[in-house]
Amino acid sequence: MSELPTFITRLFPYRARFAPTVFGRMHYVDEGEGRPVLLLHGNPTWSFLYREVMAGLAGGPYRVVAPDLIGLGLSDKPRELSAHTLRRHGESLLELVQGLELKDVVLVVQDWGGPIGAWMAARAGGRVTGLVVMNTALLKPERFRTTAFHRFSRMPVVSDVAFRLFNFPLPVLGRTQGDPSSISGDVARAYAWPLRKVVDRAAPLALARMVPNGPEHPTVAELTEGDAWARSFQGPVELVWGVKDPILGRALRRHREVFPRARVTETPAGHFLQEEVPEEIVAAIRRVADAR
């Protein structure tokens, strides 16, 4: 791994740690002592997304662990699209959780971190005891209505050119935000930096295509397992949502139905709400961690 440039380390002053997994070497941040809080990002971001949340939890009774999904951030980057499956991502995450001996975990998820985290939790033997859910599709789809973004990702040739050569969707992340300036300047550069090499850009396209467009899609089986875990989960849950998210803003309704007792915080943020309302996320994590 190349040494991080100064413009990133100024914003993300955390020690890089690495763990071997079945899917490749996984980068993660591991800070503090106390109850584990596992922060899971999605596509096409990395643990950098949670830097303000980690800062807000610093000094508290928490062991904050923020991994990078394989293919993203500072983790290994398999070059074959077919290497990326929900199961492989879930297995590598489970291996990290077991290797770090994380128990009584507050699981915090957004985007692909939701279904991957739920699949992992279903196989983690009760290690997850608290849950904070943000702008994700944790559940098996009711109907297979993909977004324009996900339909574009399946267009032959054009999508490969956009994702591989032009590092799509990194240049337009700000358009998914309530405040587009929340992902700009050095912050936008920090998201693009781990994928600066064309050969390393398989994961964003693969993860986009992992969103099921029909009942026969291979991801549906793993989504069904995660859905069952979520519906049976008995621990404290909070939902924190960016309602201006053009991708998953409307997904809040289904999550309210599945978690009827969850406290819900609606915010004017967009998809990557960690950049806009980290204080709301920190507050939700603290409440879930304090609920016994």
Burial of 232 (0-12, 13-18, 19+ CB in 10 A): exposed
Q: How many beta carbons lie within 10 A of that of residue 7, not counting itself? A: 14
Q: For strand 24-31 and strand 17-21, is the pairing parallel, antiparallel, or unpaired?
A: antiparallel
CA distance 219 to 144: 12
The yes-or-no answer on residue 290 being catalytic is no
The yes-or-no answer on residue 245 being catalytic is yes
Among residues 71, 88, 81, 74, which one has the least CA distance to residue 200? 71
Residues of the chain with pLDDT under 50: 1
Q: What pLDDT, on the 0 to 100 scale, is given for residue 47?
A: 99
- Find the catalytic residue in 76, 111, 200, 227: 111
- Find the catalytic residue in 41, 89, 255, 271: 271
Q: What pLDDT, on the 0 to 100 scale, is given for residue 292?
A: 72
HEC secondary structure over the chain: CCCCCHHHHCCCCCCCEEEEECCEEEEEEEECCCEEEEEECCCCCCHHHHHHHHHHHCCCCEEEEEECCCCCCCCCCCCCHHHCCHHHHHHHHHHHHHHCCCCCEEEEEECCHHHHHHHHHHCCCCCEEEEEEECCCCCCCCCCCCCHHHHHCCCCCHHHHHHHHCCCCHHHHHHHCCCHHHCCHHHHHHHHHHHCCHHHCHHHHHHHHCCCCCCCCCCHHHHHHHHHHHHHCCCCEEEEEECCCCCCHHHHHHHHHHCCCCEEEEECCCCCHHHCCHHHHHHHHHHHHHCC
| Residue ranges of domains in the chain | 6-290
Place domain 6-290 in its CATH homologous superfamily: Alpha/Beta hydrolase fold, catalytic domain (3.40.50.1820)
CA distance 75 to 69: 7
Q: What pLDDT, on the 0 to 100 scale, is given for residue 2?
A: 60
- Find the catalytic residue in 68, 76, 200, 245: 245
Are the C-beta atoms of residues 235 and 104 closer than 8 Å to each other? no
Q: What pLDDT, on the 0 to 100 scale, is given for residue 147?
A: 85
Are the C-beta atoms of residues 84 and 42 closer than 8 Å to each other? no
The yes-or-no answer on residue 111 being catalytic is yes
Are the C-beta atoms of residues 122 and 226 closer than 8 Å to each other? yes
Q: What pLDDT, on the 0 to 100 scale, is given for residue 1?
A: 47
